[in-house]
Amino acid sequence: MTFDFELLLVLATVISGVIWVIDAQYFAKRRQPLQTEDKEGETETNEPYLVEFSRFLFPVVLVVLVLRSFVAEPFKIPTGSMLPSLEVGDFILVNKFAYGLRLPVGHQRILNLSDPERGDVVVFRYPENTNIDYIKRVVGLPGDEVAYYDKRLYINGEPVPQKPVDESEQGDYRELRYKETLGEVRHDILVNPVSSARDFVVNVPEGNYFVMGDNRDNSRDSRVWGFVPEENLAGKAFLIWMNWDCTFSEMITLDCQMPSWNRIGSIIE
């Protein structure tokens, strides 16, 4: 069973708000004669704990709900499918209004601001299970022809510009590192020269997007499960605010690496 945090926030906001309003309208005045004074002489109201807690909780969850649903939401990168751009353990922020405002539950778009562009790193609800969030890079827009030959990407019959990265900048990867240009975005990708290539040509339907991981030979993306519908988009990733990889080992112990301080504050390209 998948935990729906957005639904929990909405329910907590509604329930605490309703309790607070009903109490203020109907019960608060009746409690006034029950006022007492504490030891320091200050007046106290005999307010039920549930009402007191709701009055405290409502503004807190409301602010969290608004910020998380309409401004920015944090995510953690669990796999290496977006290497070298995003590493396992990266904590990122996602711009929730980049592609329009959506309701926190149901996710209907209520305001259209812009559409994804080639090269955007997007978070979306996985088409085969919308309770799971995925992150990939947009390579094909609605109406595009996307092709992949000999591990080279083609958009509408034109090869996407790509050049090898200098050996001094290759990093500790076993794969080859290339600098790719998608639209206005220049980003690095990894290609494994010994893995088999699966060539294809697809046409992206209207209202859908074709996405791929930057770790081209180690990513389960649109090449496997198809297109991302527009209504599945959650937002655009724009910032790494922390990197800390902690996982549970087979012995059910917490295994944590040292945080990568140099990644904090990095802009996602």
Q: What is the mean pLDDT of the chain?
A: 88
Q: Which of 16, 54, 81, 222 is catalytic?
A: 81
CATH number at residue 77: 2.10.109.10
Domain count, the chain: 2
What pLDDT was estimated at residue 116? 96
The yes-or-no answer on residue 163 being catalytic is no
Q: Which of 69, 85, 96, 136 is catalytic?
A: 136
CA distances from 109 to 62, 73, 112, 211 (A): 20, 17, 7, 21
Over residues 140-149, the pLDDT tens digits come to: 999 999 999 9
Same domain, 31 and 94: no
Same domain, 122 and 172: yes
The yes-or-no answer on residue 16 being catalytic is no
Over residues 190-217, the pLDDT tens digits come to: 999 888 878 999 999 999 999 999 999 9
Same domain, 136 and 58: no
**What is the C-alpha to C-alpha distance for residues 90 and 257, in angstroms, rounded to an integer?**
12
Over residues 1-35, the pLDDT tens digits come to: 456 778 888 999 999 999 989 988 888 877 755 55
Residue 177 has pLDDT above 90, yes or no: yes
Residue 251 has pLDDT above 70, yes or no: no
Same domain, 262 and 248: yes
pTM to 2 decimal places: 0.86
**What is the C-alpha to C-alpha distance for residues 95 and 87, in angstroms, rounded to an integer?**
19
Domain membership of residue 118 as a residue range: 72-267
Task: Pick the most confident of 48-52, 74-78, 100-104, 119-123.
Answer: 119-123
Average pLDDT rounded to a whole number, residues 138-161: 96
What pLDDT was estimated at residue 215? 96
Token duo for residue 168: 């001094």
Beta bridge partners, 94, equal 73, 237
